[in-house]
Structure 1
Amino acid sequence: MKDSQKKKNKNKNASAFKKLIYLLLVVFSLLTLLVYFDVEIKRGSLYFKTQDLKSNFKPVSYPILREVSSPDLSALAAIIIEDDSKKIIYSKNSSLRLLPASTTKVMTALTALEFYKTENILTVNAPFYEGSVLGLKVGEKIKFESLLYALLLPSANDAAEVIAQNYPGGREQFINKMNENAAKLHMRNTFFSDPSGISDKNYTTAYDLSLLSSIAFKNKLIKRIVGTQEKIVTDENGKQYELSNLNKLLGSNGVEGIKTGFTEEAGQVLITAQIKNILGQEKTFIIVVMRSDDRFGDTEKLLNYLKDNIDLLIIHP
C-alpha cells in the first residue's frame, strides 16, 4: 500500500516537472519572438530613418582655389569669402580694425528694415549737411523706401540721419540697435557710433564686413536696391531727387553690389558681391577692400584673381 502511494506521488511530481519545463519553453519562445520582432522593428525604423536622411541630404560644393600668385593691392586690408561655405578664399589683414566709412550704411539699412515698412513716411526733424547729402529740409516728409535708395546709391548721410531720428527712442536707440545686431552677427571687432559712417569712432574689420554683407545681400529689397544704377525718388510734396549708384563696377564681371565708402581718415572702402557660375552652379563671392588708394582697381584685381581659378569639390551623401 505504501509502495503504491509512493509511486503515485512520483508520477505526480514527474508530471508537474514536465508541465513546468513546457511552460518555461513556451515563455522562452515568446520572449525570443518578442526580441526578434523588436529588433526587426528597430531595424526597419532605422532603415527608414537612414533612407530619410539620404533623401534629405544634398550634395555640398566646396570651393578650392588653384595655385595662383596673390594680387598686389593698395588696400591695407581685404578679404574674399564664398558665401555658401563661408570659406575664405583670400585674406589680407582681414582682422585689422579700420574705419568702415559709408559701408556702415549696410548695417543702417538692415537695422531699419527690422522696424520700418517700405511705405512708412518719415519726417526730417533736423538738418544734416556733413559729407554726401541729399539736401533734405526740416519738416520734409519722404517714404522709407526712398530713403533706402538715397542711403545705398549716392550714400546720402542725411538719409541715414532721418532713418535714425524717426526710430523709437531716437537716434541713440537706433545706434544701440545697430551694435546689438553686430553682436548677433558675431561681428566681434565692430562698433558703430553713428548711422552714416562719417564718425571716426566707428570701427570694423574686412572679415566682419563680409559677415554683414553676406546677410544683407540675402535681403531681397537690399539686393534690388544695391543692384540699381539710377533711381528717381520723390518726397510727399512731389519734389524729385535723381539718384546715381557710386559703384563703378556694378553690372560688370557678375558684380551686383553692394556698397562704397570713403572718408579722409578711412580711405577708400568697397564691399562687392559677385555672382559667378562654376561648373553649372551659381556661387556668390563677397569681396571687401579697406583703406585702399584705388578701391575699384583693387577689387578688379581680386575679381581677376577669382576668374578661372576656382574649382568645386562636390561632397555627395
Structure 2
Amino acid sequence: MKDFLHKYNFKIFFSYFPIVLFSVFLVFFVLTYALSFYLTKNQIQKAPVISSSDLRYPIIKTEFVPQISAKGAIIMDADSKIVLYSKNPDIRFSTASTTKIMTALVGLEQFKQDDILTVINATSEGAVLGLFKGQSFTFKNLLYAMLLPSANDAALAIADNYPGGENAFVLQMNKKAKDFNLSNTHYGDASGLFDQENYTTPFDLARLAAFSIQNENLRKTVSTKQEVITDITGTNVYYLNNLNKLLGIDGVNGIKTGYTEEAGQVLVTSKVEKGKTIIVVVMGSEDRFSDTQKLLSLINNNLTYLPIHP
C-alpha cells in the first residue's frame, strides 16, 4: 500500500511539475519585463554634451542709448534669443499687419505652395489688392501678396480657405502663440485690423520673428523686394512691392511692416551681422525706418560673441 501511494504521489508530482515550472518562468518573465520598463522610464538621462565652440553669448562692445520715437523696441539675437537692447519690451502694443507673420506660419503649415485657394469673401478694408469673390490663386502667390504689399484681402483668402474658416484659423494662430510661449500675444483676425484684439509686446514679436525666419519659404518671401503674380487664369496680373524700405540695405533681409492709427508705425527687421541673424522690433513709432536704422547702428560692427556667459 505504501509503495502504491509513493508511486501515485511521484506520478502526480511529475504530472504537475511542468505546469509549476512554467508558472515560475512566467512570473519571472513578467517581473523582469516590469522592472526593465520601470528602469527605462525612470532612468536619469545624460545631459547632451555641447561643444564650447557652440556656446556663444552676444554682447554689444560699445554701448550708447539711441534716441528713437518708438514707444517700444528691442534688439534680439535670433539664435540665442538674448536681448541686446530694449525699450519697454514687455508692454503690450497693437500688432497691426505684423499679425501677418503668424498668419503666414499657420498658412504654411496647412497649405502647399501650389495649392489653389479661392477668394470666398472680398474685402476693401485697409491695404488690398482688389481681389474679387470666386477668384483663385496659388497659396504661394497669396503669400507674396500678403507679406510684400501687406494685402488684407490676401490674408483673408488664406484664412477663409482653412478648414473651419477664419474663426478656426485665428484659433490656430493663438494656439501657435501659446506653443511659442508668447504669453503676452493674442490675435483677433488674420490681417491685424482689430487693434483691441490683436496685441503683443516687443519681446514676443521678436521671438515670433526669430521662429518664423526658420521657415525657408517665409524667409524667401519676406526677403523679396518685388514680385509679379497672377490668378490661376493668368489674365489678372498684380505687381507687388515690398513695403520694407530697408530691405537689402546693410544686411537687412526681412521681415514685416505694420500700421494702424492706434498701433502707430510698426516694423520687424532681420539683419545678418557677422554671420548671425539679429532681430530688431520697433512698435508705436513715428518713423519706423529711421528708428530701426538708429538701432541697427547700435549693432553694426559693434557685436562680439563670447564663448561663455559673461
What's the counterpart of residue 41 of structure 1?
none
State whether residues 73 and 86 of structure 2, in contact with CA within 8 Å, keep that contact through their aligned partners in structure 1. yes
**C-alpha separation in 2, matches of 1:190 and 1:112:** 18
What's the counterpart of residue 137 of structure 1?
132
Which of 290, 298, 305 is 1:305 aligned to?
A: 298
Which of 288, 291, 294 is 1:295 aligned to?
A: 288
State whether residues 100 and 269 of structure 1, in contact with CA within 8 Å, keep that contact through their aligned partners in structure 2. yes
User: Is 2:230 the partner of 1:234?
Assistant: yes
SS at match of 2:247: coil
AA paired with 1:294? D
AA paired with 1:139? G
Could you tell me how far 1:253 is from its partner in structure 2?
1.1
| 1:27-106 paired onto structure 2 within 5 Å | 53=49, 58-106=53-101
AA paired with 1:232? V
What's the counterpart of residue 270 of structure 2?
273
User: Is 2:102 the partner of 1:107?
Assistant: yes
**C-alpha separation in 2, matches of 1:307 and 1:171:** 41
AA paired with 2:132? K
AA paired with 1:307? N
**C-alpha separation in 2, matches of 1:101 and 1:59:** 37
TM-score by length of structure 2 reads: 0.82
User: Is 2:165 the partner of 1:153?
Assistant: no
User: Is 2:200 the partner of 1:213?
Assistant: no
Could you tell me how far 1:315 is from its partner in structure 2?
4.2
**C-alpha separation in 2, matches of 1:223 and 1:308:** 24
User: Is 2:250 the partner of 1:253?
Assistant: yes
State whether residues 59 and 315 of structure 1, in contact with CA within 8 Å, keep that contact through their aligned partners in structure 2. no
**C-alpha separation in 2, matches of 1:309 and 1:276:** 9
State whether residues 134 and 156 of structure 1, in contact with CA within 8 Å, keep that contact through their aligned partners in structure 2. yes
AA paired with 1:187? L
AA paired with 1:65? I
**C-alpha separation in 2, matches of 1:58 and 1:181:** 32
Structure 1 residue ranges, 4+ long, deviating more than 6 angstroms after superposition: none
AA paired with 2:204? D
**C-alpha separation in 1, matches of 2:90 and 2:175:** 20
SS at match of 2:93: coil
State whether residues 53 and 307 of structure 2, in contact with CA within 8 Å, keep that contact through their aligned partners in structure 1. no
State whether residues 147 and 221 of structure 2, in contact with CA within 8 Å, keep that contact through their aligned partners in structure 1. yes
**C-alpha separation in 1, matches of 2:292 and 2:116:** 37
Where do 5+ consecutive residues of structure 2 fail to align?
A: 1-45
Could you tell me how far 1:68 is from its partner in structure 2?
1.9
State whether residues 273 and 300 of structure 2, in contact with CA within 8 Å, keep that contact through their aligned partners in structure 1. no
Could you tell me how far 1:62 is from its partner in structure 2?
1.2
SS at match of 1:91: strand
What's the counterpart of residue 181 of structure 1?
176
AA paired with 2:200? T
Q: For residues 184-220 of structure 1, what are the alpha-carbon distances to aligned partners after superposition, in whole Å with 9 as ceiling and x for unaligned? A: 0011001100000011121111111011100111111
State whether residues 149 and 231 of structure 1, in contact with CA within 8 Å, keep that contact through their aligned partners in structure 2. yes
**C-alpha separation in 2, matches of 1:164 and 1:265:** 24
**C-alpha separation in 2, matches of 1:84 and 1:127:** 39
State whether residues 259 and 266 of structure 2, in contact with CA within 8 Å, keep that contact through their aligned partners in structure 1. yes
What's the counterpart of residue 37 of structure 2?
none
Could you tell me how far 1:59 is from its partner in structure 2?
3.3
State whether residues 80 and 287 of structure 1, in contact with CA within 8 Å, keep that contact through their aligned partners in structure 2. yes
**C-alpha separation in 2, matches of 1:139 and 1:100:** 29
What's the counterpart of residue 42 of structure 2?
none
**C-alpha separation in 2, matches of 1:249 and 1:228:** 12
What's the counterpart of residue 276 of structure 2?
283
Where do 5+ consecutive residues of structure 1 fail to align?
A: 1-48
**C-alpha separation in 2, matches of 1:57 and 1:291:** 40
TM-score by length of structure 1 reads: 0.80
- CA RMSD in angstroms comes to 1.7
Structure showing greater radius of gyration is 1
Identity %: 49
AA paired with 1:264? E
